[in-house]
């Protein structure tokens, strides 16, 4: 019974993957790639890349460990950026909703939460920095532009809330 | 005990997937043979990861058009996009395979026959997978910290 359940779930997942494969094939048919595309500045660059990708090494080369380390660092940056973005209050409750009116007679010192504007500024700065550093990778740039756009939105939201 | 087994399996599976995503980005480091076989192994790892998260997938898919917080919606869209790009990266990788798929199918592949358009797309999809995987980890950061603490605490207790 359990096996049937697992198999039926697998079938659903594979069907979804099949649909995605169809979408990928459609994308392939519709997108121009190669020397005519904007991704390839000159035919020389294209030829160089062509030679490199066609003759990749079969065996592992430990000398390129730094590439792996670099990728891990980029991943860590993405995680950090994501953490900063997702920790922000994306849908803050209205200020007066469900709050009691305090007279402040027994006020105790409280830790002030970090303003939204400060965090949004940090994310924005980080986004711009990473875009500058990785501007040679087209798709990475697109992804980072999306992240930075989200940061700009939060930044504007903070301005509207008079936190700046 | 059964719950802990499940947590431990999920945790190490997720760790293996995370390391694999990084390793697969560097073909020169792993070499083409390891790269391609690891890419095929990732199919099984991703399917297992999704099966372990099945209850979350079903719940969130049912609530897709109901009232949700922005965070939940972002998380769902992020996971959807990650699955899409992982599928696309694996599919394009299979199409340009030089070692693993020819071995499995008993055919011969020459580097000069490689479809370069698919090769370009494969690189693009892989880059997007890296970005989305980072954001996926960020969304599930609290779970990751809790699971790490739980697993290493039990490991220390059993060692004493």
- ipTM of the shown complex: 0.89
Residue B61 or A105, more confident? B61
CB contact under 8 A, B128 and A60: no
Q: For the ranges A53-57, A64-68, B33-37, B87-91, which has the lowest average pLDDT?
A: A53-57
Asked if pLDDT for residue A98 goes beyond 60, the answer is no
Best mutation target among A2, A6, A12, A17 (most B Cβ atoms within 10 Å) is A17
Task: Identify the sign of the CA torsion A121, B140, B50, A75.
Answer: positive
pLDDT in tens, A16-61: 999 999 999 998 888 765 555 655 556 666 677 777 777 778 888 8
pLDDT of residue A127: 64
Q: Is the pLDDT of residue A164 over 50?
A: no
Entry pTM: 0.75
Q: Is the pLDDT of residue A112 over 60?
A: no
Q: HEC profile for A11-68?
A: HHHHHHHHHHHHHHHHHHHHCCCCCCCCCCCCHHHHHHHHHHHHCCCCCCCHHHHHHH
User: For residue B26, which of A55, A69, A17 has the smallest C-alpha distance?
Assistant: A69
Question: What is the least distance, in Å, from the CA of B113 to any CA of chain A?
Answer: 9
Whether residue A131 lies within 8 A of chain B, CB to CB, comes out as no
From the list A55, A80, A91, the residue facing B70 with the nearest CB is A91
Mean pLDDT of chain A: 70
Q: At A130, is the pLDDT very low, low, confident or very high (cuts 50, 70, 90)?
A: low
Q: What angle do CA B95, B101, B104 make, to 5 degrees?
A: 150
At residue A11, does pLDDT exceed 90? yes
Name, of A61-65, B82-86, B137-141, the range with top average pLDDT.
B82-86
Query: Which one of B22, B71, B133 has the shortest CB-CB distance to A90?
Result: B71
Q: A154 falls in which pLDDT band (50, 70, 90)?
A: low
Q: Which residues from B are below 8 Å from A34, CB to CB?
A: 116-117, 120
A3 is written with which tokens? Answer: 């096996």
* CA-based nearest residue in chain A for residue B46: A13
Tens digits of residue pLDDT in B91-140 = 999 999 988 999 999 888 777 777 788 888 898 899 999 999 999 999 99
Question: Other C-beta atoms within 10 Å of B86: how many?
Answer: 24
Kindly tell me if the per-residue pLDDT of A157 is higher than 70: no
CA atoms in the 13 A half-sphere facing the CB of B153 = 7
Indicate the range of A54-58, A155-159, B103-107, B145-149 predicted with least confidence.
A155-159
Which of A44-48, A150-154, B40-44, B61-65 comes out lowest in average pLDDT?
A150-154
- Is the model's pLDDT at A136 over the cut of 50? no
Query: Scanning every residue of chain A, which has its alpha carbon at the shortest distance from the alpha carbon of B52?
Result: A6
Q: Which residues in chain A touch residue B47, judged by CB atoms under 8 angstroms apart?
A: 10, 13
Residues of chain B in contact with residue A10, where contact means CB-CB under 8 angstroms, are: 47, 51
> Do B138 and A79 count as a contact with CB atoms less than 8 A apart?
yes
Q: Quote the minimal CA–CA distance from B105 to chain A in Å.
A: 19
Q: How far apart are CA A164 and CA B5, in angstroms?
A: 49
Mean pLDDT of A52-72: 84
Give the A window 20-39 contacts with B, CB below 8 Å: 20-21, 23-24, 27-28, 31, 33-34, 39
Which residue of chain A has the CA closest to B118?
A28
- Mean predicted lDDT score pLDDT of chain B: 89
Compare CB distances from A57 to B25, B31, B112 and report the shortest one's residue: B31
So what's the pLDDT on residue A83?
A: 85
For A64, residues 6+ apart whose C-beta sits below 8 A from its C-beta are B26, B28, B29
Euclidean distance between CA atoms A81 and A147, whole angstroms: 8
**Weakest mean pLDDT among A119-123, B8-12, B145-149:** A119-123
Range from A44-48, A137-141, B88-92 carrying the lowest mean pLDDT? A137-141
């Amino acid at each position: 019974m359990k096996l049937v359940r697992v198999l039926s779930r697998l079938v659903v997942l594979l069907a979804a993957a099949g649909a995605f494969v169809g979408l990928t094939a459609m994308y392939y048919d519709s997108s121009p790639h190669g020397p005519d595309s904007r991704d390839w500045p000159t035919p020389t660059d294209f030829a160089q890349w062509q030679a490199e990708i066609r003759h990749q090494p079969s065996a592992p080369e430990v000398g390129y460990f730094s590439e792996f380390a670099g990728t891990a660092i980029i991943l860590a940056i993405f995680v950090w950026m994501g953490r900063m973005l997702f920790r922000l209050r994306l849908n803050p409750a209205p200020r007066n909703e469900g709050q009691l009116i305090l007279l402040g007679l027994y006020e105790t010192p409280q830790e002030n939460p970090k303003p939204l504007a400060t965090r949004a500024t940090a994310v924005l700065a980080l986004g711009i920095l990473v875009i500058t550093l990785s501007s040679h990778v087209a798709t990475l740039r697109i992804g980072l532009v999306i992240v930075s756009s989200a940061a700009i939105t939060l930044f504007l939201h903070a301005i509207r809330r008079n936190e700046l | 005990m059964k719950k802990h087994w499940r947590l431990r399996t999920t945790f190490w599976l997720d760790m293996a997937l995370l390391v694999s995503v990084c390793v697969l980005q560097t073909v020169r480091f792993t070499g083409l043979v390891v790269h391609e076989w690891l890419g095929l192994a990732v199919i099984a790892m991703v399917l297992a990861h999704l099966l372990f998260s099945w209850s979350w997938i079903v719940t969130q898919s049912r609530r897709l058009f109901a009232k949700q917080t922005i965070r939940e919606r972002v998380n769902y869209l992020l996971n959807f996009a990650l699955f899409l790009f992982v599928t696309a990266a694996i599919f394009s990788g299979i199409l340009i395979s030089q070692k693993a798929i020819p071995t499995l199918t008993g055919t011969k592949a020459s580097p000069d026959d490689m479809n370069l358009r698919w090769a370009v797309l494969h690189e693009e999809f892989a880059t997007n997978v890296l970005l989305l995987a980072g954001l996926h980890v960020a969304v599930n950061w609290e779970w990751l910290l809790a699971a790490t603490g739980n697993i290493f605490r039990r490991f220390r207790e059993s060692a004493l």
